[in-house]
Structure formats: C-alpha cells, structure tokens
Amino acid sequence: MQNSKTQQLDKYYLKSKRFFLGMQGTDGLLFKVLVYGLLVGIGFVYLFPVIYMGIFSFKSLDDLLNPMINWIPTQFYLDNYTKANHVLNFFSTLMETLYVTVLPAIAQTAVAAVIGYGLARFEFRGKKVLFVLVLATFIIPPQVTMIPRYIFFNELNILGSLKAFMLPAAFGQGLNSAIFILIFYQFFRMVPKALEEAAQIDGAGHFRIFFTIALPMAVPAIIISFLFSFVWYWNETYLAAIYFGDALTTLPLQLQKFVATYEKMFPAEMGLEGNQLNEGIKMAGTILSILPLLIVYFITQRWFVEGVDRSGITGE
C-alpha cells in the first residue's frame, strides 16, 4: 500500500516537473514565462516612445495642461498634425528626402556588391591589405575625415548638390560602405564555386557569371544592404547639413529646425492660444518624420527578416 502511494507521488512529481521544466528544461512553463516576459519587457522598451508620441500627438493644449488626463485624450485633436505638416512642408520635403536617400542607397548597394564579389572570388597581390583598408574605413570615425573631405568636395564644386553623397557611394566610400562590402563578401564566399566553374565551361565570362548567377543568388544581401543604407542616409543630418547647406533638405533636418520654423510661422504675438508650440505639435512633427520609415519597414518586413537569416550577418 505504501509502495503504491510512493509510486503515485513519484508520478505526480514527474508530471509537475515536466509541466514546469519540460522534457529538456527549455519547453516547460517556467522557461516560457521567462522568455515571453523578457520579450515583452524588451518590446515595451522599444514601443513605449512610439506609443507615447502617438498618444500625445493627438492631445490638445487643454488636455496637455489637465493633470487628470494622462494617456487617453478627450478627443483626437488633428490640428497638431495640420500645423506640423505645414511647418515641415511634409510632402515636398518627403520627395526631396527620397531623392537624397534612395539614389545614394542604390549606388552604394551596387558598388558594394561589385567590390564584395571581387574580393570573394579573385586572388591578386595586396588583396589582404586592401581588405584591411576597406574595413579600416568603418573603424575610423567620420568626424576625422569630415574636414579634408569637405575641402575636397569644395574644390570639386559639388557642395550643395546630391553629388556630395553620390560620389563617395559610387567609389565604395558611402555611409558605412565597409559593412555592406563585408556582407556581400561573406555571402559570395558561401556561393558554391561549382556553379561558376560550370558556367565558365559553357563559355560564360566573369561579367555574365556575376549578373546571371551571383547577383540573383545574392538577393537577401541586396535587400539587407539597401534597407540599411536607405535608413542611414535618411537619418544622416550632420553631413547632410554640412554638404547640402540650404540647397537640399530632409525631414530629419526640418525636424531639427522645427521649433525655430514654427515660431516664425506662428509668432507668439498673435495672441491665439492654439498657436502656442506645445508638446503635442512636437510629437506630431516627430511622428510625421518617422512615418515613411515605419511604412517601409512594414512593407519589407518579411523580406528583411529572410534577408537577415539567409545573409548570415547575425554571426552564425
């Protein structure tokens, strides 16, 4: 009788252990609670600023001044977006931003693919030294080369035009080009050489092999490189302000000048309460400036995740 009770207790113990710890310690309830709790915490840290901006951008000045109203506004006050759109000159500035970011991103991706393929497939004297120099361009802070590059661009008379971004991108010296070269270098090294050797037997040259075999297989690396390059050119304000001056502008640059521009367009002496620059208008301007990037991410999310997984840039 006592043995049967002991066996029953052991059975309950094993069931409880399997329920809380799982068969291998990684599929039980405790592990899932820990993992999901960690993911929720990390997600909250990243989403909290966006949620905060979104909610406060719909608050009127009365809601902002009312201490009883915290997260839920009394109404969706769209006038904040109307004024922010007017200050940013949103659609015109958006087109100019796309012009400044998309073309250099395409050029940088194309050049990085060619350089990465050359380093991965060809052997020549000084290759290792050249590869180290390429990586060194990423290690050296851009502030170190900013002044000599500015003087060089001034002598070439390309300041105030898109050429200030296009010229470095066309020669593999765009924003963080070394990372994209490394991505393509790593990806092309994983492509079986047997495919290229079979194409060479059929009489295909190096250019044909690159465009018909290597590039189609490197679509994940192309997606990753273009998206990262697009985002970095989009968010670059320091070099853009120096190189472009008043000739070109972007949404992040306009956002930096948001307060000064707003005060000029809606001066305080007008005496209208609704024209006061409040936190809701600032949040609305910030939302409008990041909205295109959010749309691009939601559209390309599936290809972006597949590209990260297949290109091997996670260190696997």
The confidence band for 14, taking pLDDT boundaries of 50, 70 and 90, is low
At residue 282, the pLDDT reads 82
Q: Could you tell me if residue 126 is left (phi over 0), alpha (psi between -120 and 50 degrees) or otherwise beta? A: left
- Of 128, 212, 114, 222, give the one whose Cα is nearest residue 170: 114
Give the number of other Cβ atoms within 10 Å of residue 255's Cβ. Answer: 21
User: pLDDT tens digit string along 239-285?
Assistant: 888 888 878 888 888 888 877 777 777 666 544 454 556 777 888 88
Answer with the residue of higher pLDDT: 273 or 24: 24
- Of 159, 173, 170, 156, give the one whose Cα is nearest residue 241: 159
CATH tag, 89-256: 1.10.3720.10
Is residue 303 over pLDDT 80? Answer: no
**Lookup result for tokens 């049967």:** 4
Task: Report the pLDDT averaged over residues 285-296.
Answer: 85
In angstroms, the CA 177 to CA 133 distance is 12
Three-class SS of the chain: CHHHHHHHHHHHHHHHHHHHHCCCCCCCHHHHHHHHHHHHHHHHHHHHHHHHHHHHCCCCHHHHHCCCCCCCCCCCCCHHHHHHHHHHCHHHHHHHHHHHHHHHHHHHHHHHHHHHHHHHHCCCCCHHHHHHHHHHHHHCCHHHHHHHHHHHHHHHCCCCCCHHHHHHHHCCCCCCHHHHHHHHHHHHHHCCHHHHHHHHHCCCCHHHHHHHHHHHHCHHHHHHHHHHHHHHHHHCCHHHHHHHCCCCCCHHHHHHCHHHHHHHHCCHHHCCHHHCCCHHHHHHHHHHHHHHHHHHHHHHHHHHHHHHHHHCCCCC
In angstroms, the CA 11 to CA 3 distance is 12
User: pLDDT tens digit string along 92-149?
Assistant: 888 989 999 999 999 999 998 888 888 888 877 877 888 888 878 778 777 788 888 8
At residue 8, the pLDDT reads 58
Do residues 280 and 60 make contact, with C-beta atoms less than 8 angstroms apart?
yes
In angstroms, the CA 63 to CA 65 distance is 5
pTM for the model stands at 0.78
